[in-house]
Structure 1
Amino acid sequence: MVHAVQENRATVIHPTAIVAPEAQIGRGVSIGPWCTVGPHVVIEDNAELISHVVVDGHTRLGAGSRYFPFCTIGMAPQDLKYKGEPTRCEVGARTVVREHVTIHRGTASGSGLTHVGDDVLIMANAHVAHDCWLGNRVIIVNNVVMGGHVVIDDDARIMGSAAIHQFVRIGHAALVGGVAGVEADVIPYGSVLGNRARLVSLHWIWLRRNGVQSAEIHRMRKAYFTLYPKVDEEGTFATRLEAVRRDFGADPRIKEILAFIDAPSRRGLVRIARGDYSTAETEGA
């Protein structure tokens, strides 16, 4: 996913590219055939626009980031309230944006900024709407669409053709399954499937691959099933939440989940799935 940056190379702008004289172009930047770069754009060192890329608005492209043909970055948002205000868009270092991706700038009625973090991979045909905030090392698979003001925390994985409702929050290292329709918040390390998306487990594969020890995973499993028991009649959610806070609140990852639940939300939390999701629970689907 991470593009190896060749240091100290010469800046190259193809003769067919249209680059505004006011644009700020760093060292070692490559701007390929038929690209268009607007006057308020900043392109940091060693970034690469392969061909037919359009970058507009008050947009900053991070060092070593790469942009594939027919993607557009920093164009005006699809918001009828937008009246041309000088809002911003920024993409982090070493991020890769594949073919036909659209990343729109923010709105004056929102945060005014659309942000994509470092080491992100956004695959073909995905759409990042106005005022979205994507953290670091996020992976967005083909054909994912998101409404405005979506927040996706570090290390989250959004699988192909998922649709995320505006103002939804996706927690740290969460997994959204393919073709899921997500209309509410997904807790950190949560794994959701379906249309409409339902919580089926924690993201066990990510936890194991990132060095979380078995003892901690066991505690997280106990906390998860305390909060989301298989039988819905086992007390109210508020009662279960306090039990998790009391019994597992000292664990840093559980504390992260509790803080996410306690934070203000426009959409509420994704509901728990009912039925047989044993494969998802054990394999982290």
Structure 2
Amino acid sequence: MRKTRILMIHETAKIHPSAVIEDGVKIGANVTVGPFTYIGADVEIGDGTEVMSHVVIKGPTVIGQDNRIFPFAVIGEECQDKKYSGEATRLVVGDRNVIRESVQMHRGTVQDRGVTTVGSDNLFCVNVHIAHDCVVGDNIIMGNNATLAGHINVEDYAIISALSAVHQFCTVGAHCFIGGGSIVVKDVPPYVMAQGNHAKPFGINIEGLKRRGFEKPELHAIRRAYKEIYRSGKTLAEVKPVLEEMVKDYPSIGLFVKLFDNSTRGIIR
């Protein structure tokens, strides 16, 4: 007796005849799926998303609306971690992301949150790798061949340039800029520019902050916080009360305090 296939594909979706769609897939309105793409069971794809040719998507995975996924991307594959034993961990991707050729995003592990999370409005260039249990925010750019190991937190508006690699359990702070070819082995504070092997700080990402609407008084406060951290000769324990006082007038300084409170690897120096 032939098994009935359970598919939830919106009538406006356009699926190429050569694409392989497994049971238990949910595909929203105006989604397009290109030739020779494979979509495994327990995958949900939101309205307006474009999945091009030769893409592999495995579940459990949820992909939001209006994403563009380019050829040879592998989304939601099981993670590259020896402790993974086939558990039903997940990948969740937001909206309006551009996922270029050969990008890899892996599901989480039960030893952590059990889910890898990717936000919205991000650009992931060719061959970007996002490993298990990462939390990637919104409006992030990752250049060609940029790589995240497992358990990494990348905060909003961060830029990780081409050929850079980030060590597991690190945080890449909001609005920071990592120069090309960098090796990041400790946390990068928010707003900071860093580069090198191992990556070292070399100032504040002022131009990026200006483009995002930061006003002069706030920029001056962020510069002052940077000087307290890197040029005062104080320990982080001595710097933290100064920053906490600054937060009263400039809430953006709170991102420094939050990172210091949550850091497990220490910050780049």
SS at match of 1:200: strand
Aligned-partner residue type, residue 242 of structure 2: A
The answer to whether the 8 Å contact 1:227/1:244 transfers is no
Instruction: Structure 2: state its 5+ residue gaps.
Output: 1-9
Which position in structure 1 is the counterpart of 2:249?
A: 250
**CA-to-aligned-CA distance 1:107-165 (integer Å, 9 cap, x gap):** 11111101110111100011000001100111111000111010001111110111000
The answer to whether the 8 Å contact 1:72/1:103 transfers is yes
**CA-to-aligned-CA distance 1:54-108 (integer Å, 9 cap, x gap):** 0002001111111100000000100011110000001111111000111000111
The answer to whether the 8 Å contact 1:139/1:156 transfers is yes
- Larger mean CA deviation between 217-226 and 147-156 belongs to 217-226
- Please give the alpha-carbon distance, in whole angstroms, between the structure 1 residues aligned to 2:72 and 2:82: 24
Matches for 1:104-123 after TM superposition, within 5 Å: 104-123=106-125
The answer to whether the 8 Å contact 1:12/1:31 transfers is yes
Which position in structure 2 is the counterpart of 1:268?
A: 266
Greater than 6 Å deviation, 4+ residue runs: none
Aligned-partner residue type, residue 214 of structure 1: K
Q: Offset of 1:9 from its aligned partner?
A: 9.2
Aligned-partner residue type, residue 241 of structure 2: E
**CA-to-aligned-CA distance 1:229-249 (integer Å, 9 cap, x gap):** 1xx7x3434323333434565
Indicate whether 1:88 and 2:86 are aligned.
no
Which position in structure 1 is the counterpart of 2:210?
A: 208
- Normalised by the length of structure 2, the TM-score is 0.92
Aligned-partner residue type, residue 169 of structure 2: F
- Please give the alpha-carbon distance, in whole angstroms, between the structure 2 residues aligned to 1:120 and 1:215: 28
- Please give the alpha-carbon distance, in whole angstroms, between the structure 2 residues aligned to 1:35 and 1:142: 22
- Please give the alpha-carbon distance, in whole angstroms, between the structure 2 residues aligned to 1:156 and 1:16: 38
Q: 54, 58, 63: which one pairs with 2:56?
A: 54
SS at match of 2:255: helix
Q: Offset of 1:256 from its aligned partner?
A: 2.1
Aligned-partner residue type, residue 67 of structure 1: I
- Distance change (3 Å), C-alpha of 1:247 and 1:21: closer
Q: 145, 148, 165: which one pairs with 1:146?
A: 148
Which position in structure 2 is the counterpart of 1:4?
A: none
Aligned-partner residue type, residue 225 of structure 1: K
- Please give the alpha-carbon distance, in whole angstroms, between the structure 1 residues aligned to 2:253 and 2:30: 44
Q: Offset of 1:261 from its aligned partner?
A: 1.2
Aligned-partner residue type, residue 48 of structure 2: N
Aligned-partner residue type, residue 245 of structure 1: E
Aligned residues: 260
Aligned-partner residue type, residue 91 of structure 1: V
Which position in structure 1 is the counterpart of 2:39?
A: 37
- Distance change (3 Å), C-alpha of 1:225 and 1:84: same
After superposition, the CA RMSD in angstroms is 1.6
- Please give the alpha-carbon distance, in whole angstroms, between the structure 1 residues aligned to 2:88 and 2:247: 46
Indicate whether 1:168 and 2:170 are aligned.
yes
Which position in structure 1 is the counterpart of 2:191?
A: 189
Percent identity among equivalent residues? 38
Q: Offset of 1:267 from its aligned partner?
A: 1.2
Which position in structure 2 is the counterpart of 1:101?
A: 103
